[in-house]
Amino acid sequence: MPDITWSEASPTQASDANQIHIFINQAKTAIRERLQLGGMYFPSTHDDLAGEFSYIRLTNQSSGPTPVAGKGFVFVKEISNQPELFFMSSSGEEVQITSGNGVLGVPTSGIIIYDGDSCPTGYTQFATLDGKFLVGSATRNYAGGGANTKDLRHVHTQTAPTLTTTIIDGGNEEASAGGGSGLLGNLGEHEHSVAVSAVNTGQATTDLSAVDIRPVWSGVVLCKKT
């Protein structure tokens, strides 16, 4: 706290003129102490620092200032019993700069997508998610599931139709195959011998054991706030 009590009523006309130098010195001290209390450099020497601040001490308020056209304000306002730093634009829009014990922005352990080969200062590359697609989840699950490739090999089974012939109407023969039939005429007593070739179940010439099923993708660097 300042050593000199501020009083604009002193000195008075009745004060001893021989003490005027004391009042002047006290006034200088009172001004310096109060400017320094707000963080401004105001020493009796080192005038090159005059007008500079080592810090700015702001009063905690319950609400922000009244906006002024063409002006901006930096101020402190109480949020949940905690002084927080704000900026107000000339239109009266308030932007909160701090929250709790830190500056608003990416919280610790937050993950960002970074356009670069290495992460910026304050971040480390989060390689745990490299090569993975992200899916919303109620809980964290880095292991996830699924695979980048799928085995698309499969077998087609084909059954050859059965050919049957029947002697009817004293020698008329009816043939059926594949669900259809027709009358062949009177052919007399005879036999049929039908040979059916084996169905080819060979494998395709293209290897389908590990087909990449991912959509078109691009790689990015994921960085985690430390």
Which range of 12-21, 54-63, 146-155 scores highest in mean pLDDT? It is 54-63
Terminal Cα-to-Cα distance of the chain (whole angstroms): 39
Q: How far apart are CA 212 and CA 151, in angstroms?
A: 9
Question: In 51-101, which ranges are E strands?
Answer: 60-61, 73-79, 82-88, 94-96, 98-99
Reported confidence tier of residue 127, pLDDT bands at 50, 70, 90:
very high
List, for residues 87-98, the tens digit of each pLDDT value.
999 999 999 998
Reading the block at residue 182, the tokens are: 């027709």
Predicted model pTM: 0.42
Q: What are the structural domain ranges in the chain?
A: 1-54, 60-103, 106-156+207-226
223 pLDDT more than 70: yes
